[in-house]
Amino acid sequence: MITELTNRCSGFVKDRHLLVIQDTTSFNLNNHYYRLKKDSGVGTIEDNFTLGFFLHASLVMDSFTETALGYSDVQLWHRKYEDPDRGSKIKYLPIEQKESYKWIAACIRTKERLKQAASITFIEDRDGDIYEQFATVPDSRTHLIIRSCKQRKLDDGSKLFDSLPKQNAAGTYQIKITGDRRAKKVDRIASLQVRYRKITITRPREYFKKDIAASVELYAIEAREINYKGKDKIFWRLLTTHQVNCFNQALEIIETYKKRWHIEQLFRLLKKQGFELEQSELESGWAIRKLVVLALNATLRIMQLMHASEDERLQPLDEVFNEKEQQCLVQLNSQLNGKTTKLSNPYKTKTLLWTKWIIARLGGWKGYQCEKSPGPITLKRGLDNFIKIFNGWCLALKYYEDVGTQ
């Protein structure tokens, strides 16, 4: 299932510039502790006592259109109960035996699956700040943008976090921060001061592998919010293999890193609004894992529909629904169209917006243009109903084909 899921997007990437957003989430199944069968694909997560398993996903997007194309890698695993000294022992293991190798393994498999792409940029949060990754993954068409979390030693003897504030400010720009009523946070305009410099990080002393590069050249960017003292103050330090020689290039890296929110939205749909997979009543961890893989494909479609545009060149329907599914959608559209113009599908046939209208109607959306645009929950319900209808439609087609041959 994972192989089929990850190979699917390889047909859409030729000569495209891609973003591959990686991240890890965990599925907490402690509420089902006495229902789940032991040794059935579940173990410990986080604190090594909570029951569940991990998912590490690599979401592939077009860097220019920001459309989701699929997944280049999916990893599922759990931890076993370990002895109390587990943490101290991990430090001295080869990277290939650590959980953190997931970042490098995903990059290696992604580069192979997306080898027809013009370029690939991996975007990762702080857990991806691993020296081995900087030393082994980048090449002429492969780049990294990773949020820094380590006070790295530089070749000039200075420390990364100490050297960035000493650089002259390259410029300042503003972004809108949406508030959160539940946390009593209001909307605000954040002013970010940007600094950058070229750096050379050195191999950590404790690394015993001698065949890894002794140093790696990177560019470091610091974006710090000024004139604001709240605990949610923005402060990003980014490391990248892309060249940064001016303020605009630094801004481009920051804006690219911000697209990491897409994978946060993906995990939210899987675990909370939408599929609520942590509430699954299945008794086997392996079955829940299969459900996660199936839900990944459905969640991708929801994200693609949510970002549907009137410009069909941004994402053609063929990247989301196959030819047979499109035939079924045409028939459904004729049934869902109302008797008036206001209740008819207003979009061009066989475009993503046209499909979004159909799926939303199947999910309970009324179809009036005065209504607000359908959200992810409505689209999720619509996709569930479409899959049921499509399966029945395929069975009916096969029946009539069989009858016709008799």
In this structure, the answer to whether residues 347 and 398 fall within a common structural domain is: yes
For 269, the token pair is 């749909």
Instruction: Quote the pLDDT of residue 406.
Output: 58
Instruction: Show which of 269, 289, 307 is a domain's final residue.
Output: 307
In this structure, the answer to whether residues 117 and 7 fall within a common structural domain is: yes
- Total count of domains within the chain: 3
In this structure, the answer to whether residues 185 and 329 fall within a common structural domain is: no
Tokens 């109390």 belong to 84
pLDDT mean across residues, the chain = 89
Instruction: Quote the pLDDT of residue 386.
Output: 95
Instruction: Quote the pLDDT of residue 383.
Output: 94
In this structure, the answer to whether residues 6 and 91 fall within a common structural domain is: yes
- Rounded Cα gap, residues 260 and 243, in angstroms: 20
Instruction: Quote the pLDDT of residue 192.
Output: 92
In this structure, the answer to whether residues 199 and 241 fall within a common structural domain is: yes
In this structure, the answer to whether residues 302 and 316 fall within a common structural domain is: no
Instruction: Quote the pLDDT of residue 382.
Output: 94
* Domain-located, residue 130: no
Residues whose CB is less than 8 angstroms from the CB of residue 400 and which lie 6 or more positions away in sequence, other chains included: none
- Rounded Cα gap, residues 395 and 268, in angstroms: 34
In this structure, the answer to whether residues 78 and 180 fall within a common structural domain is: no
Residues whose CB is less than 8 angstroms from the CB of residue 333 and which lie 6 or more positions away in sequence, other chains included: 345, 349, 354, 358
Angle at 352 between CA 349 and CA 356, to 5 degrees: 95
- Rounded Cα gap, residues 406 and 403, in angstroms: 5
Residues of the chain with pLDDT under 70: 81-89, 91-92, 183, 207-210, 404-406
In this structure, the answer to whether residues 72 and 2 fall within a common structural domain is: yes
**338 touches 349 (CB < 8 A):** no
* Domain-located, residue 133: no
Which range marks the domain in which residue 295 is found?
Answer: 1-125+260-307
Give pLDDT tens digits for 122-147: 999 999 999 999 999 999 999 999 99
In this structure, the answer to whether residues 166 and 108 fall within a common structural domain is: no
* Domain-located, residue 137: no
